[in-house]
Amino acid sequence: CRIAALASGRGSNLQALLDAIDGGSLAAQVVGVFSDRSKAAALQRARDAGIPARSLSPKAFASRAAFDAALFDAIDEVQPDLIVCAGYMRLISGGAVDARRGRIINIHPSLLPAFKGLHTHQQALDAGVAEHGASVHFVTPDLDGGPVIAQARVPVLPGDDADTLAARVLEREHPLLVETVRWLAAGRIALAEDAVQVDGVAG
Ligand code: GRF
């Protein structure tokens, strides 16, 4: 499975994929890493691993659609089977998503459908929930609204702030993303009409 990764920042989820591949527990290749921020640490992680890394500045384009057209042209060049948004903080335009239906996934730090968008850990604290976590879902034009593939749950503990909660969730994000990509790479999961299909069975 050829993977293209999109990342805007630190890139610890990308690193989890690279480490799993390196350690032989994930049969895949990361063939390109792309960012909307030239300073993203994720780009350096890719270069350190000998993977082509590219950033495009949204400011250089007249519209979101124009930026996404250029970005996804560059992504298409590396011929990925799967596109993984790993801490990619920009909305992707509907046209770019529709053209790659079922081939783009995202990791989001909440138990979707709860707490879409930004500041999810603070949202969870403000809502007073006892459990929080992360979700991997297929990307559709609906922001953080595509079918959920897998989730990891953590407790919200007394005294938590957004940082302690984020750290607890992040620890679970890494294995969650690796495991989900493993299933996708093995062809065990697909996006059916409007739901996730596991081993040929709608779930
Ligand atoms: C993660 O919490 C991810 O779920 C969210 O942004 C964070 C990115 O972390 N969308 P990293 O760049 O993978 O370290």
Q: What is the ipTM of this complex?
A: 0.97
121 catalytically annotated: no
Structural domains in the chain? Answer: 2-202 (3.40.50.170)
Q: How confident is residue 194, by pLDDT bands cut at 50, 70 and 90?
A: confident
Residue 188 annotated as binding site: no
Alpha-carbon span 70 to 36, nearest angstrom: 11
Residue 143 annotated as binding site: no
Nearest atom of ligand 1 to the alpha carbon of 170: 2
Residue 148: strand pairing partners: 137
Q: Please give the distance, rounded to the nearest whole angstrom, from the Cα atom of residue 2 to the centre of ligand 1.
A: 21
- Tens digits of per-residue pLDDT, 67-121? 999 999 999 999 999 999 999 999 999 999 999 999 999 999 999 999 999 999 9
Q: How large a percentage of the chain has pLDDT more than 70?
A: 98
- What does the DSSP assignment read for 14-71? HHHHHHHHHTTSS--EEEEEEES-TT-HHHHHHHHTT--EEE--GGGSSSHHHHHHHH
The per-residue pLDDT for 202 is: 64
- The residue nearest atom 9 of ligand 1, judged by CA position, is 87
